[in-house]
């Protein structure tokens, strides 16, 4: 073949490739082209999987037995074993450490530096006085644990549930703000000039609603910008449909936390590889601790070098928090670094021991039997985005979009819920309180829900904590055990980690939802 003929062949091949690449994707229901300014300009992003946010690991969902895995030595019977299903989600590989929370405080102090924001700055501070004890010398921890660099990667403690919740919201906005910056949709000066931004700081919801308009980056108006307006010009505003922004970080639900701690995926074929036999549903209902791989609680290598070593940070017995000098058992008298000990089958550290952790759920003793089978959770109080009398959205003084609680009047005609606040739904405590306390009419008590925190230590502020801590005996290290703490209190034994919703396939990136069978050619012969 001479050079002239070769050139002709290559030109034809390039033309065919160009035609294929310019072929418009079209609607299955109307036949109209997507992303075509000559057919209405409806823009559709290419299908893509959700990326994993910073610090997170993917947890493939499934069914498990939630609750007690050994004798109820405390006599609470608040963790009745029940079969539940958890949807796939993401969770932090480690507990949130001091250095991470100090990063949060730096941002708060920089952005909200005015006198009018003094309460915001002080309200974000962890309570270091949680280390004090009437009969112990813990003052060095009060002074140094949170600030000294030797404790950088130790879990933050003294953080209330509300503070942990706010940290998750802050983290969501910082991650999404950087995602826009990396894609060139925000000018680089936006990440540089934080001082005194106050109400104008970046908030994901406010950005999506058009209440926050950061200065666009240089690449936004270039031809390389993949986002287009209906007329085909480059688009500066990102929408959630573009697949660039992530869902919010949040506290894990109790069921998610317990499921992630169990790490039952280690008992099935590796989901990152091609599966062997489909339908092989191995599950160990009596697994006791987060690190175990089998019912005996053993997790050992072939050579046995882990045999006899501690796999969590906990209290072995009275007065024994770390063993004898020269052979310390867990090498931690109080907390330990967040990557200490062996991770479980999901790759998550310290789900048993080190610090107990906040979950999103409001505590009720019988929640395990009351909650739904799929994605169980107690704590719903529904909200809508607030609109003023002109039908416009508004931001509050911190830059968050204003919301309003759903009223009972708005809910009464729905089939799936009849009240806006369903924290107390089916818990039965109102009836018990009304009868036992005798100070109110029973029916009135059912309406108001009064009595919480009066005739019982449990209230709507009681949040579930899980996992056991450096100062707990082995019983509390089992993921099935559960306790509670008021959401506005902190403790030297309680920290937290964040979670995130999984969007799309529950099997993870590169997998498809549902089982796709090969199609058969239809027999079209005339009979």
As a whole number of angstroms, the distance between CA 293 and CA 380 comes to: 34
Residue carrying the six token digits 């530096």: 113
Q: Which position has the token pair 């940070």?
A: 313
- How many CA atoms within 13 Å lie on the side-chain side of 272? 6
Q: Tell me, what's the pLDDT at 229?
A: 87
The mean pLDDT of 131-142, rounded to a whole number, is: 96
Query: Checking DSSP bridges between strand 494-495 and strand 483-486, what pairing results, if any?
Result: unpaired
CATH of range 45-379+460-501; options 3.30.70.260, 3.40.50.970, 3.30.1360.70, 3.90.1580.10: 3.90.1580.10
**pLDDT over 60 (residue 333):** yes
How high is the pLDDT of residue 251? 98
Going by C-alpha positions, the residue among 155, 471, 156 that lies closest to residue 313 is: 471
User: Among 117-131, 262-276, 337-351, 430-444, where is mean pLDDT lowest?
Assistant: 430-444
Both structure tokens of 400: 């968050």
Give per-residue burial for 327-359: e unless 16+ CB within 10 Å, then b.
eebbebebbbbbebbebbbbebbbbbbbbbbbb
* Partners of 508 in the β-ladder: none
Residue 119 is predicted with a pLDDT of 96
Per-residue pLDDT tens digits for 505-526: 888 886 666 666 777 666 666 5
- Among residues 101, 103, 113, the alpha carbon closest in space to that of 199 is found at 113
Name the least confident of 17-31, 275-289, 426-440: 426-440
- pLDDT for position 296: 45
Classify residue 404 by burial, with Cβ atoms within 10 Å: 0-12, 13-18, 19+: exposed
Whole-angstrom distance between the N-terminal and C-terminal Cα of the chain?
52
Sign of the Cα torsion 291, 293, 298, 303 reads negative
Lowest mean pLDDT among 68-72, 255-259, 276-280, 472-476: 276-280
Helix (H/G/I), strand (E/B), else coil: 91: strand
| DSSP type of residue 331 | S
179 has a pLDDT exceeding 90? yes
DSSP 3-state of 249: strand
Mean pLDDT (whole number) for 316-326: 86
Q: Is the pLDDT of residue 293 over 70?
A: no
pLDDT reported for residue 384: 95
pLDDT at 292: 62
How sure is the predictor about 435, in pLDDT bands with cuts at 50, 70 and 90? very low
70-79, 138-147, 251-260: least confident range? 70-79
* Section 141-169 average pLDDT: 97
**The predicted structure's pLDDT at residue 74:** 82
Beta-bridged to residue 234, according to DSSP, are 228
How large is the average pLDDT for residues 189-213?
A: 90
Contacts 24+ apart (CB under 8 A), 117-125: 117/198, 120/398, 123/163, 124/163, 124/166
Cα–Cα distance for residue pair 352/469, rounded to 1 Å: 7
The alpha helices in 127-267, defined as continuous H runs, are 139-144, 161-182, 189-192, 204-208, 254-262
Q: Identify the band that residue 428 occupies on the pLDDT scale cut at 50, 70 and 90.
A: confident
Asked whether the predicted pLDDT for residue 130 surpasses 50, the reply is: yes
Residue 43 — very low, low, confident or very high, per pLDDT cuts 50/70/90? Answer: confident
CA-to-CA distance for 103 and 305, rounded, in angstroms? Answer: 38
SS3 12: helix
pLDDT at 487: 97
Q: Which residue has the higher pLDDT, 395 or 297?
A: 395
Q: Which pLDDT does position 436 carry in this prediction?
A: 38
User: Which residues partner with 357 through β-bridges?
Assistant: 466, 495
Q: What is the pLDDT of residue 77?
A: 86
How do beta strands 356-362 and 494-495 pair? parallel
Helix (H) or strand (E) holding 86: strand 82-86
Instruction: Give the three-class secondary structure for 38.
Output: helix
Task: Give the tokens for residue 291.
Answer: 């690190």
CA distance 299 to 287: 12
Best CA proximity match to 164, nearest among 501, 502, 494: 494
Contact of 255 with 86, CB cutoff 8 Å? yes
* Three-state DSSP class for residue 434: helix
User: What pLDDT sits at residue 342?
Assistant: 84
pLDDT band at 188 (very low <50, low <70, confident <90, very high): confident
Give the best-scoring range by mean pLDDT among 44-53, 78-87, 326-335, 455-464.
Answer: 78-87
Share of the chain above pLDDT 90, in %: 56
pLDDT at residue 132 greater than cutoff 90: yes
Q: What are phi and psi of 185, to 5 degrees?
A: -90, -10
For residue 359, the surrounding DSSP H or E stretch is strand 356-362
19 by Cβ neighbours in 10 Å (0-12 / 13-18 / 19+) ranks as: exposed
Q: Which residues pair with 383 in a beta bridge?
A: 405
Q: Where are the domains of the chain?
A: 45-379+460-501
Assign 278 a pLDDT band (cuts: 50, 70, 90).
Answer: low
Higher pLDDT: 154 or 433? It is 154
Least Cα distance to 355 among 313, 319, 322, 310 occurs for: 313
At 12 the pLDDT is: 56
């Amino acid at each position: 073949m001479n050079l002239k003929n070769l050139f002709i062949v290559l030109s034809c091949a390039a033309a065919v490739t160009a035609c294929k690449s310019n072929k418009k994707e079209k609607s299955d229901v109307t036949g109209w082209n997507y992303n075509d300014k000559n057919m209405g300009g409806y823009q559709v992003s290419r299908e893509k999987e959700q990326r994993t946010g910073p610090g997170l690991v993917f947890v493939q969902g499934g069914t498990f037995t939630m609750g007690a895995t050994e004798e109820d030595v405390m006599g609470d019977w608040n963790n009745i074993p029940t079969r539940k299903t958890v949807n796939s989600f993401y969770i932090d590989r480690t507990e949130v450490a001091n250095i991470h929370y100090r990063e949060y405080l730096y941002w708060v102090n920089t952005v909200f530096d005015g006198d009018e924001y003094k309460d915001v700055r002080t309200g974000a501070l962890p309570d270091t006085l949680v280390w004090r004890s009437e009969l112990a010398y813990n003052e060095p921890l009060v002074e140094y644990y949170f600030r000294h660099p030797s404790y950088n990667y130790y879990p933050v403690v003294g953080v209330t549930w509300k503070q942990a919740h706010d940290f998750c919201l802050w983290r969501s906005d910082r991650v999404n703000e950087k995602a826009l910056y990396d894609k060139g949709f925000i000018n680089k000066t936006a990440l540089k000039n934080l001082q005194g931004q106050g109400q104008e700081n970046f908030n994901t919801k406010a950005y999506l609603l058009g209440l926050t308009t950061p200065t666009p980056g240089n690449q936004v108006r270039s031809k390389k910008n993949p986002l287009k307006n209906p007329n085909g010009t480059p688009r500066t505003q990102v929408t959630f449909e573009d697949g660039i922004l992530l869902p919010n970080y949040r506290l894990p639900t109790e069921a998610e936390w317990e499921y992630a701690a169990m790490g039952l995926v280690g008992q099935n074929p590796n989901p990152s590889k091609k599966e062997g036999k489909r339908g092989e549903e191995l599950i160990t209902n009596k697994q006791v601790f987060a690190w175990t791989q089998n019912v005996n609680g053993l997790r050992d290598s072939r050579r046995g070098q882990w045999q006899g070593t501690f796999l969590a940070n906990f209290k072995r017995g009275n007065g024994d928090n770390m063993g004898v000098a020269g052979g310390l058992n867990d090498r931690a008298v109080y907390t330990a670094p967040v990557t200490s000990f062996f991770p479980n089958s999901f790759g998550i550290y310290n789900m048993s021991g080190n610090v107990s952790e906040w979950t999103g759920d409001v505590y009720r003793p019988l929640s395990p039997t009351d909650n739904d089978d799929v994605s169980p959770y107690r704590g719903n109080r529904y909200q809508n985005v607030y609109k003023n009398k002109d039908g416009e959205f508004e931001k509050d003084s911190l830059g968050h979009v204003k919301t309003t609680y759903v009223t009972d009047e708005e809910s009464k005609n729905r089939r799936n819920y009849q009240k806006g606040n369903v924290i107390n739904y089916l818990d039965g405590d109102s009836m018990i309180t009304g009868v036992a306390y005798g100070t109110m009419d029973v029916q009135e008590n059912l309406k108001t829900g009064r009595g919480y925190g009066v005739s019982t230590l449990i209230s709507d502020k009681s949040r579930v904590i899980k996992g056991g801590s450096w100062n707990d005996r082995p019983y509390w290290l089992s993921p099935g055990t559960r306790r509670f703490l008021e959401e506005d209190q902190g403790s030297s034994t309680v920290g937290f980690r964040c979670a995130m919703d999984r969007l799309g396939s529950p099997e993870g990136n590169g997998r498809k939802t549902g089982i796709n069978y090969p199609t058969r050619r239809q027999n079209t012969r005339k009979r």
